[in-house]
Chains A and B, each alone.
Chain A
């Protein structure tokens, strides 16, 4: 886990989407992906990726919490006392998660039932606290938002890829719709029950990491 504070140099008239700032979004998608490179947030990646729908909703939830958390903490970074900064971050994150939870219960009740405890577990998602501590505490609001977007999307992409394979091979569906035709089943095709089990998510994440390392030379050097 990287705890070193990354800083963006002060440049008063920097464009909103300058190269350096865009890098904040693109980096977590590949070079510093929170799941496959930093191996954070694995627990939720295993638990809720049986189907695409809860994965997408979880991504939306984490997106909201990371981006808003980064923004709020960044705004408060100069008034948060150093000695209680972790607990202050926790209060902010917990508050945001409660907001997500209450909103889901009111608007998307079925999904909130399906996600059940995992919404509450966004609080313990290491990515959230990791970004607050490593980035938002030391950077201005706008770069913090970009960093939040990048990391949340980096997390969401992996979630969706894993869920895609698990739902497709585990239940023959994608986003709840049957994609493997009935005639296949009649010919003897069976859904892979193992795909429904959490360990399979770990295997898929492992394969993603493998593919990513094979393609991205930077990551290989970083390992040696």
Chain B
């Protein structure tokens, strides 16, 4: 052969051509497969939102079921103020982008309103930081703006068997029936704590053994998004005083108990963080 295969010029030429050809091929295939991937992702999102209210559907059936069950959607900022009521706009919200916004009051957190068996549920979309990468989830709250009905979490790359357990059913089932506010209407959130460090209450769940950092990320995420939702709940709950009054009267007796339980969980939280 006339060309010297081992010369620097040839090597540079060869490498350039090889990389360019590979890049062109990959870009073409990316263009061809990406629309289908986007559709899959969207379907999964719908499926997850439905799962939060315990409607289990196949990914293929998710779109139709979502259409049927999800009535309304709105977005709130961290202060609980409604930012938009436009369904499509809410569905398109990219929480990763929202959380990067410098002006916190303009952040938009999506909330979906789902009617199932005649009852209304609110599904709060959330996103936070795990140990390695993003974690996200959907928590459904009953019409009393307080009781958690179901929760779904997922993650990008938490450690399998440890942090990744947050996407397992056993972990998510713990959230059923938990409360986000105390009987006085004060926001408490649901804490993710180390097993056995605090008495089981309506306001805590066991974290994942060996997945403390993921659990902490989840804990912070719940605080942030459930907090925003609780504030929103306060603004709309007012017209139903009948429901609130007996609860307040009832809880006066257990007032001190509640507070100490709350403090307990706060203390143990610090412990697990350390």
* Chain A residues near B (Cβ < 8 Å): 79-84, 87-88, 91-92, 94-95, 98-99, 102-103, 105-107, 109-110, 116-117
> B253 on the interface (CB 8 Å rule)?
no
Give A50 to B36 CA distance when docked, in angstroms: 28
Q: Is the CB of A99 within 8 A of B44?
A: no
A81-B6, A106-B40, A116-B157 are known; give 14 further A-B pairs, CB within 8 A: A80-B14, A81-B10, A83-B11, A84-B11, A88-B18, A91-B19, A94-B22, A95-B22, A98-B26, A102-B30, A106-B35, A106-B37, A109-B44, A117-B157
Residue of B nearest to A99 (CB): B29
Task: Give 10 closest A-B pairs by Cβ, nearest first.
Answer: A106-B36, A106-B33, A109-B40, A95-B22, A105-B37, A102-B33, A81-B11, A106-B37, A81-B5, A99-B29
Give the distance to chain B from A170, nearest Cβ to Cβ, in Å.
14
> B59 on the interface (CB 8 Å rule)?
yes
Instruction: List 8 contacting pairs A-B, 8 Å CB cutoff, sorted by A.
Output: A88-B14, A92-B18, A95-B25, A95-B26, A99-B25, A103-B29, A107-B36, A117-B157
Residue of A nearest to B35 (CB): A106
Give A110 to B5 CA distance when docked, in angstroms: 45
| Interface flags, B1-45, vs A, CB<8A=1, else 0 | 000011000110011001100100110011001111100110010
Known contacts A81-B10, A83-B6; A88 and B22 CB within 8 A of each other:
no
Binding site secondary structure of chain B: helix
Give A98 to B41 CA distance when docked, in angstroms: 18
Cross-chain pair count, CB within 8 angstroms: 61
Interface size of B in residues (CB-CB distance below 8 Å)? 23
Give the distance to chain B from A80, nearest Cβ to Cβ, in Å.
7
Give the distance to chain B from A88, nearest Cβ to Cβ, in Å.
6
Contact of B18 among A91, A99, A105 (CB under 8 A): A91
Contact of A82 among B5, B15, B26, B59 (CB under 8 A): B5
Residue of B nearest to A196 (CB): B161
Q: Is the CB of A99 within 8 A of B11?
A: no
- Which residues of chain A are within 8 angstroms of B14 by Cβ–Cβ distance? 79-81, 84, 88
Give A95 to B59 CA distance when docked, in angstroms: 29
Known contacts A88-B14, A109-B37, A117-B157; A102 and B59 CB within 8 A of each other:
no
Give A92 to B25 CA distance when docked, in angstroms: 11
Give A87 to B6 CA distance when docked, in angstroms: 15
- Which residues of chain B are within 8 angstroms of A109 by Cβ–Cβ distance? 37, 40-41, 44, 59
Known contacts A99-B29, A105-B33, A109-B44; A92 and B22 CB within 8 A of each other:
yes
Give A82 to B59 CA distance when docked, in angstroms: 49
Q: Is the CB of B15 within 8 A of A88?
A: yes
Give the distance to chain A from B60, nearest Cβ to Cβ, in Å.
11
Give A106 to B43 CA distance when docked, in angstroms: 12
Residue of A nearest to B33 (CB): A106
| Interface flags, B61-100, vs A, CB<8A=1, else 0 | 0000000000000000000000000000000000000000
Known contacts A105-B33, A109-B40, A109-B44; A99 and B15 CB within 8 A of each other:
no
Contact of B34 among A82, A98, A106 (CB under 8 A): A106
- Which residues of chain B are within 8 angstroms of A79 by Cβ–Cβ distance? 5, 14
Give A88 to B26 CA distance when docked, in angstroms: 16
Give A81 to B5 CA distance when docked, in angstroms: 5
- Which residues of chain A are within 8 angstroms of B5 by Cβ–Cβ distance? 79, 81-82
- Which residues of chain B are within 8 angstroms of A116 by Cβ–Cβ distance? 157
